Chains A and B, each alone.
Chain A
């Protein structure tokens, strides 16, 4: 199995630009999570989906962040407009029912 796939692995952008992060979960997994990791805050859950439906997005700044899962094998996290404080590593993860949660390699976002 290829594991969770994320793209791009690195993204550098200027403040105010739109950023789109992409994720392909492990085939057959019905839960998908987006986390953000920073030195100051550690790992934070932004949003998670079950069977493509948003279950909880309370951790996501909704004025600038949006998450979608148009099909079972693809999800996006969009930031518009981006700000320097959004600089972080963004992880996508997936799981099956009560099994372990498997993380992708992450996207390192730098907003200048």
Chain B
């Protein structure tokens, strides 16, 4: 069994300040972990993925995430938020024994000018 918990349903930041989106996972097998972003009325875009290589993963648009096995966490960060980062973000886990993706409930990011 696998699951994902996104610890914040809504995050509000000022433009130019850091963003932190928290994600904890559980998985019976070696997990693959992903972050997706969804802008309003759009599809889901893959930001980055962890598949058992380097624990610090760099993605698109300045985002990065760190896999911490001891904490079962995969938090997403960006050093400086931009207005265009306002969207919903999903943390996703899949296990090595199948390809089902388990989605977190999502975190809505608001960026204040």
Residues on A lying within 8 angstroms of B by beta carbon are 31, 33, 42-43, 45, 48, 50, 55-56, 91, 93, 95, 98-106
- A103 pairs with B101, CB closer than 8 A: no
Number of A-B residue pairs at CB separation under 8 A: 42
Looking at B44, B98, B106, which has the most chain A CB atoms within 10 Å of its CB? B44
Q: Is the CB of A103 within 8 A of B100?
A: no
CA distance A99 to B49 in the complex (A): 8
Sample 22 A-B pairs with CB under 8 A, ordered by A number: A31-B99, A33-B101, A42-B105, A42-B106, A43-B90, A45-B101, A55-B99, A56-B98, A56-B100, A91-B43, A93-B44, A95-B99, A98-B32, A98-B51, A99-B51, A100-B49, A101-B34, A103-B43, A103-B46, A104-B43, A105-B42, A105-B43
Q: Mark B24-38, 1 if CB is under 8 A from A, else 0.
A: 000000001010100
Is B63 close to A, CB under 8 A?
Answer: no
> Measuring CB to CB, which residues of chain B are less than 8 angstroms from any residue of chain A?
32, 34, 36, 42-46, 49, 51, 90, 96, 98-101, 103, 105-106
Other-chain residue from A42, A99, A100 in contact with B103 (beta carbon distance below 8 A): A42
Q: Is the CB of A106 within 8 A of B99?
A: no
Given contact pairs A56-B100, A104-B43, enumerate 17 new A-B contacts (beta carbons under 8 Å). A31-B99, A33-B99, A42-B103, A48-B99, A48-B100, A50-B99, A55-B98, A55-B99, A98-B32, A99-B49, A100-B34, A100-B46, A102-B46, A103-B36, A103-B45, A103-B46, A105-B42
The CA-CA distance from A56 to B97 in the complex, in Å, is 13
A25–chain B nearest beta-carbon distance, Å: 14
Instruction: Report the minimum CB–CB distance from A57 to chain B (whole Å).
Output: 12
